[in-house]
Amino acid sequence: MRLRSLMAGAVSTALAVTLTACGGSSDTSNQPSVNAEANFEAGTTMAKLKDAGKVKIGTKFDQPLFGLKGLDGTPTGFDVEIAKLIAAKMGLSADKIEWVEAQSKVREEFIEQGKVDYVVATYTINDKRKERISFAGPYYEAGQDLMVKSDDSTITGPDTLKAANAKVCSVIGSTPAEKIKEYVDPANVVLFDGYSKCADALRTGQVQAVTTDNVILLGLVDGSNDEFKLVGKPFTEEPYGIGIKKGDTKFCEFINKTLTDAVADGSYDKAWKDTAGKVSPETPKLPELDTCS
């Protein structure tokens, strides 16, 4: 945990520094090299998906930098690139992927019901979720933060929300939506099903702050034409995992190996640089991986 908190600090510093850097759109031409010779033990999820020749992946469609659906219908972002690396290791190129929008509140349900084979969607690993599903990773560590209007000087951290009598927007089924109730009256928490709606509510003055992970907010700030700013004081640790069926240890181990291989061969770095790295240039260090169970 100590490592994670240090990393969260480092990430937030990097985010704060790079917010002034220019933004950019994601590179849609990115194709990790496909492992055509992939060969897996019969009965494993990897063998099943490889034999099927296709995979369904849950991700976000409205989160710039991590998962944002473009005009051509395919999403782009760091989560999307991580998802593609895993598919490629199973011999599946990007055109074999069916992308499914997995909003915060439906992720466990989609995995349990087999609507998706795995979820890469700014998905915090925690014990409550682990009662229903398993996680590989973490592949990234974010931290909950606040986004406010650029000219707001009263909200400078979660402890200032009460005095500002602020209404705060977050998303149903997300960890930040729960955490923020420690700082504001639940009656002042406004919940939608996606973060783009929170950004609209901030723009129109229905709420005075949006809360979720710093990297999600960074994407919204980057696209706001200087209308919004990140407060820049993360107050939680949000290790992002890849959600899979509960107890699928072999798939978890395979994904973890894919992540360490991706660091070694530079594809993790490329995935970052092509996406979130356009706004936050420093590639994060892969967090220490959890044991699969």
Q: How many residues interact with ligand GLU (rule CB under 6 A)?
A: 13
Among 26, 134, 175, 196, binds ligand GLU (CB under 6 A): 175
Which structure tokens are listed for 55? 């995979």
Question: Is residue 171 within the footprint of ligand GLU (CB under 6 A)?
Answer: yes
The identity of residue 231, as a single letter, is V
Of the pair 61, 123, the CB lying nearest ligand GLU is at 123
Q: Which residues of 92-107 are buried (b: 16+ CB within 10 A; e: fewer)?
A: bebebbebbbbbbebb
Of the pair 171, 180, the CB lying nearest ligand GLU is at 171
Strands 118-119 and 67-69: unpaired
Of the pair 144, 208, the CB lying nearest ligand GLU is at 144
Q: Tell me how far, at minimum, the Cβ of 111 lies from ligand GLU, in Å.
A: 13
Alpha-carbon distance 284 to 269, whole Å? 8
Question: Is residue 243 within the footprint of ligand GLU (CB under 6 A)?
Answer: no
Of the pair 123, 272, the CB lying nearest ligand GLU is at 123
Alpha-carbon distance 47 to 57, whole Å? 16
Alpha-carbon distance 290 to 249, whole Å? 12
Query: How many other C-beta atoms lie within 10 A of the C-beta of residue 291?
Result: 8
Query: How many other C-beta atoms lie within 10 A of the C-beta of residue 49?
Result: 23
Question: Is residue 274 within the footprint of ligand GLU (CB under 6 A)?
Answer: no
Question: Is residue 212 within the footprint of ligand GLU (CB under 6 A)?
Answer: yes
Alpha-carbon distance 40 to 52, whole Å? 13
Of the pair 7, 216, the CB lying nearest ligand GLU is at 216
Which structure tokens are listed for 20? 């002034």
The identity of residue 122, as a single letter, is T
Q: Tell me how far, at minimum, the Cβ of 176 lies from ligand GLU, in Å.
A: 5
Among 77, 176, 232, 284, binds ligand GLU (CB under 6 A): 176
**Residues of span 77-106 touching ligand GLU by CB under 6 A:** 104
Among 59, 174, 211, 267, binds ligand GLU (CB under 6 A): 174
State the binding string over 106-125 for ligand GLU (x if CB under 6 A, else -).
---------------xxxx-
Q: Which stretch binds ligand GLU (CB under 6 A): 28-36, 88-96, 169-177, 221-229?
A: 169-177
Among 238, 243, 275, 292, binds ligand GLU (CB under 6 A): 238
Could you please report the per-residue DSSP string of 25-83?
---TT--PPP-TT----TTSHHHHHHHHT-EEEEE-SEETTTEEE-TTS-EESHHHHHH
Which structure tokens are listed for 211? 């809360």
Which residues sit at the interface with ligand GLU, rule CB under 6 A? 104, 121-124, 171, 174-176, 212-213, 216, 238
